[in-house]
């Protein structure tokens, strides 16, 4: 198997998981002592603007997704650089997230990549949500 084949399989499995939920954009804000997020996603072709608060952007995004009936827990999180930044600041972050649907003991991993570390994290969360669905542990939509 060639490296390009491995990358294609990885990308298809973890990075190209835009169904049923796909990331569109986000905006962070402070809400007292909490971190707030305004998260725009598409779910089954319909755009939703969600808000949530938490102890950081990932927790806030998890709370925002509850408005769609998506309840999950983040079990673990890691982030890596995809190379050094040159003068243009073109480094990418790769976030790995283990998620579990509330009330289900099985875990699933999501991966997100972006130049922005928060965006990479939210993309990893979306990847995990979609992979839970792909694996037969259906995500509920309200």
Question: 130 lies in a domain?
Answer: yes
For residues 116 and 50, give the distance between their C-alpha atoms in angstroms, rounded to a whole number.
20
E strand or H helix at 47: strand 46-54
pLDDT of 31: 78
Number of domains in the chain: 1
- Give the tens place of pLDDT for each residue, 25-68: 999 999 788 899 999 999 888 999 999 999 999 999 999 999 99
Q: What is the pLDDT of residue 137?
A: 42
The 10s digit of each residue's pLDDT in 82-110 is 877 666 667 789 999 999 987 777 789 99
pTM, two decimals, is 0.87
Q: 23-47: string of b/e by CB count within 10 Å (b at 16+)?
A: beebeeeeeeeebbbebebebeeee
Classify residue 140: in a domain, yes or no.
Answer: no
pLDDT at 142 over 60: no
CATH of the domain at 78: 3.30.160.270
Q: Per the domain annotation, does 49 fall within a domain?
A: yes
Q: Each residue of 2-27: pLDDT tens digit?
A: 999 999 998 888 888 778 899 999 99
- According to DSSP, residue 110 is labeled E
Residue 67: DSSP 8-state: G
- pLDDT for res 129: 92
- Please give the distance of CA 2 from its chain centroid, rounded to a whole number: 28
């Amino acid at each position: 198997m060639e490296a390009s084949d491995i990358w294609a399989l990885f990308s298809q499995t973890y990075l190209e998981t835009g169904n049923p939920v796909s990331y569109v954009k986000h905006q962070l804000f402070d809400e007292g002592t909490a971190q707030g997020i305004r998260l725009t996603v598409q779910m089954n072709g319909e755009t939703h603007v969600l808000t949530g608060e938490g102890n950081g952007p990932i927790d806030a995004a998890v709370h925002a997704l509850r408005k769609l009936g998506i309840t999950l827990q983040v079990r673990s999180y890691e982030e890596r650089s995809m190379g050094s930044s040159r003068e243009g600041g073109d480094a990418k972050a790769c976030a790995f997230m283990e998620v579990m649907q509330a009330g289900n003991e099985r875990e699933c991993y999501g991966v997100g990549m972006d130049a922005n570390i928060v965006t990479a994290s939210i993309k990893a969360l979306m990847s995990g949500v979609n992979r839970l669905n792909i694996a037969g542990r259906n995500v509920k939509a309200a």
